[in-house]
Chain A
Amino acid sequence: MAPFSIYSFLGLGVPIIAVIYYAFQSEQGKPTLSNIALVTHGSYLLGFENSIVLALITSIVPGILGLILAYAIATSRSATLKRLVATASGVLANFGGINLTFMFIATLGSTGILTAWLSAIHLNPWNFGFNLYSFYGVALVYLYFQVPLMVLVITPALGGLRPSWREAAENMGASSWGYWRYVGVPVLMPSVLGGMLLLFGSGFAAYATAETLTAGTVTLAPIQIGSLLAGNQLAGQENVGYAVGLGMFVVLAVTMILYGLVRRRASKWLR
């Protein structure tokens, strides 16, 4: 336990303390609430809102898709398929950032390959309101690594569903629906929530992908921090950046507390 505590303190505690320290400081090093007041209004508030919505979309949608995919794989008979998907998920879940963004631009950008093919059959998505360099474009790119991430985290939980539970249920007159309604879903719920929380965190904090794709035109909290700390808007705004960082910590903390409460309710049968 001791090494983990030290690790947590150095990796999480110290940065939080530093962020808090600077967030409540003026440019001149005096204590102030003005940074906080600034970031809870206007474009900074919009940044938080957009980031939270993006994180929700990119946790719930890939969460469900990943769950379905993982279940299909878990129940398949092919060991090769299982191994293949496990390996692919491991690679794809970590394939984000600038490389991924350019891959999408080359594929689905206004002059991308797929776009060209689709427009050849008069189905160019850009003509139907699609825009890769927008909020939903970012969400789409996130799907690419969030789905495999969900597959990775949920597969062990699916393996924990014992065949004898299903058979016992069937034996006592349960339909497939009855089994899932009363056994399968409740048993999986804590793991699914846990997986989605992870996706929420990674969606909320992802920076490089969104920055490269939209060149900062979509207002997201991490992008704002980036530009504030880089000082490319106004000089001397670093402390405002720290205040936005503090806001992100708060959002994540609230999410985790909510998750804890839901999980406790969903799993009072767990140890």
Chain B
Amino acid sequence: MTELVDATRTTGAAPAGARVSLEGLVRTYGTTRALDGFSLAIEPGEFVALLGPSGCGKTTALRVLAGFERLDSGRVTVDGRDVSKISAQHRDMGMVFQSYSLFPNMNALNNVAFGLRMRRQHATQRRQKAGELLELVGLSDQASKYPHQMSGGQQQRIALARALAIEPRVLLLDEPLSALDAKVRAELRDQIRQLQQRLAITTVFVTHDQEEALSMADRVCVMSAGRAEQTATPAALYSRPTTSFVAEFVGVSSRVPVEPVDGSVVLFGERCRIRASDTGLPNGPLDALLRPEDVAITLDETAKPFVTHKSFLGATTRVIAQVDGVAVRVDVRSDVAADIELGARVRVSVVSRDVLVAERSVTNPVSPQ
């Protein structure tokens, strides 16, 4: 650990990262609106994850920030200054790509030193600094290896060191872990997060993996169709999603049809407050969106709902109960779940008395998830 701290000091990283603001970004490709009024404000030193399904515009947003893409309209500022006219070459942003971005003709050390060479640093100086960065990512012993001689995980760590070497004002990562296997991915996730906190560098991390986003970021910006749906801390995003898209994209939600009764809804026979909804209160029929831990079940032979699936998750077991033909996912402590058999009659109730509602959607497959 002390080594890490020393390395940080000698790399002379700026004490605080830059403040970044993306305002009303629009970018169209032909008829595709890759970015459709995307806005996001990032605090100095903050780690923000852009999370969303494939094609929602995450990469485009990152590339706009890096200076690789033009904007149709909107503004990007760094520390209050508009950077639209500044080319990628002069933006001082370190970028880590999905894969295979290391220069194949340079060994690890020279890859890391590349940015310093472009900044005309003296050879001995840049070799020393590149060495420190290799140490920072724990790959000092790989300095003379060429990219093809390294594993995918090692290559990405070198790519990270290379991006950090220029002491960027903002660190940009575009799904840097998606090509790696699960174990390496988890390790690197921790390492990236630790380094980011140590260097206090403003970071934008693109991913379609919600676990990655929730476990790494200070705040997560959920994107859909070129816009920001909700930007919040992982905890807030999970427990208080403001739109049905977020509720269903992040974590697991069950949709249960409910009847509105003057400003509240009746759910499993109980009256619940409406916490939030997509666009005010929709006029038509409604669904409640329930997390597995928002719902409780108890064995009750006289009840109509019954258990259709059970899957063991460790400390908890996910039970699916069928309530009036609708699948409701419930997390139950595994020792309790051991007594609940398939087909058992259960009484279903809500744990919290305020629920997120959305316009009713017709699909509600009874599937084991």
Q: Which A residues have a C-beta under 8 Å from some C-beta of B?
A: 162, 164-165, 167-175, 178, 182-183, 186-187, 267, 269, 271
Question: Given A173-B89, A271-B148, does the pair A168, B97 have CB atoms closer than 8 Å?
Answer: yes
Q: List 29 A-B contacts (CB under 8 A).
A: A162-B100, A164-B97, A164-B98, A164-B100, A165-B103, A167-B66, A167-B68, A167-B88, A167-B101, A168-B159, A168-B162, A169-B114, A170-B68, A170-B87, A170-B89, A171-B66, A171-B94, A171-B163, A172-B114, A172-B163, A173-B118, A173-B166, A182-B114, A187-B103, A187-B104, A269-B104, A269-B106, A269-B148, A271-B148
Question: Given A168-B97, A173-B166, A271-B148, does the pair A183, B105 have CB atoms closer than 8 Å?
Answer: yes
Instruction: Kindly state whether residue B115 has any CB partner on chain A within 8 Å.
Output: yes
* A171-B88 in contact (CB<8A): yes
Minimum CB–CB distance for A179 against chain B, Å: 9
Question: Given A172-B162, A269-B146, does the pair A165, B115 have CB atoms closer than 8 Å?
Answer: no
A175: B residues at CB distance < 8 A: 89
The residue on A at minimum CB distance from B146 is A269
Instruction: Kindly state whether residue B119 has any CB partner on chain A within 8 Å.
Output: yes
Tell me the chain B residues, 92-115 only, with Cβ under 8 Å from chain A: 92-95, 97-98, 100-107, 114-115
Alpha-carbon distance between A187 and B95 when the two chains are bound, in angstroms: 21
A182: B residues at CB distance < 8 A: 103, 106, 114, 117
Residue in contact with B89 in the complex, picked from A164, A174, A187, A271, CB distance below 8 Å: A174
Total A-B residue pairs with C-beta atoms closer than 8 Å? 76
B107: A residues at CB distance < 8 A: 269
The residue on B at minimum CB distance from A165 is B103
Alpha-carbon distance between A174 and B119 when the two chains are bound, in angstroms: 8
Alpha-carbon distance between A170 and B68 when the two chains are bound, in angstroms: 9
Residue in contact with A173 in the complex, picked from B66, B68, B119, B146, CB distance below 8 Å: B119
A173: B residues at CB distance < 8 A: 89-90, 92, 115, 118-119, 166
The residue on B at minimum CB distance from A175 is B89
Alpha-carbon distance between A162 and B89 when the two chains are bound, in angstroms: 18
Minimum CB–CB distance for B89 against chain A, Å: 5
The residue on B at minimum CB distance from A167 is B68
Interface size class of B (residues with CB under 8 A): 20 to 34
Minimum CB–CB distance for A175 against chain B, Å: 6
B101: A residues at CB distance < 8 A: 162, 164-165, 167-168
Minimum CB–CB distance for B168 against chain A, Å: 9
A178: B residues at CB distance < 8 A: 118
* A167-B89 in contact (CB<8A): no
Q: Which 7 A-B pairs have the closest CB atoms?
A: A172-B115, A173-B118, A164-B101, A269-B146, A186-B105, A171-B95, A164-B97
B88: A residues at CB distance < 8 A: 167, 170-171
Contacts beyond the supplied A167-B95, A169-B114: 16 A-B pairs with Cβ under 8 Å: A164-B100, A164-B101, A167-B68, A168-B95, A168-B162, A169-B103, A170-B88, A171-B163, A173-B90, A174-B114, A175-B89, A178-B118, A182-B117, A269-B105, A269-B106, A269-B148
Taken residue by residue from 141 to 185, chain B's Cβ proximity to chain A (1 for < 8 Å, 0 otherwise) reads as: 000001110000000000100110110000000000000000000
The residue on B at minimum CB distance from A190 is B105
The residue on B at minimum CB distance from A176 is B89
A170: B residues at CB distance < 8 A: 68, 87-89
Minimum CB–CB distance for A164 against chain B, Å: 4
Alpha-carbon distance between A168 and B156 when the two chains are bound, in angstroms: 13
A174: B residues at CB distance < 8 A: 89, 114, 118
Alpha-carbon distance between A168 and B158 when the two chains are bound, in angstroms: 13
* B68-A172 in contact (CB<8A): no
Taken residue by residue from 60 to 101, chain B's Cβ proximity to chain A (1 for < 8 Å, 0 otherwise) reads as: 000000101000000000000000000111111111011011
A168: B residues at CB distance < 8 A: 95, 97, 101-103, 159, 162
Alpha-carbon distance between A178 and B119 when the two chains are bound, in angstroms: 11
B148: A residues at CB distance < 8 A: 269, 271
B118: A residues at CB distance < 8 A: 169, 172-174, 178
Residue of A173, A186, A267, A271 most packed against chain B (CB within 10 A)? A173
B115: A residues at CB distance < 8 A: 172-173
* B105-A187 in contact (CB<8A): yes
B146: A residues at CB distance < 8 A: 269
Residue of A162, A169, A171, A182 most packed against chain B (CB within 10 A)? A171
* A172-B166 in contact (CB<8A): yes
Minimum CB–CB distance for A162 against chain B, Å: 6
Minimum CB–CB distance for A19 against chain B, Å: 40
A165: B residues at CB distance < 8 A: 101, 103
Minimum CB–CB distance for A174 against chain B, Å: 5
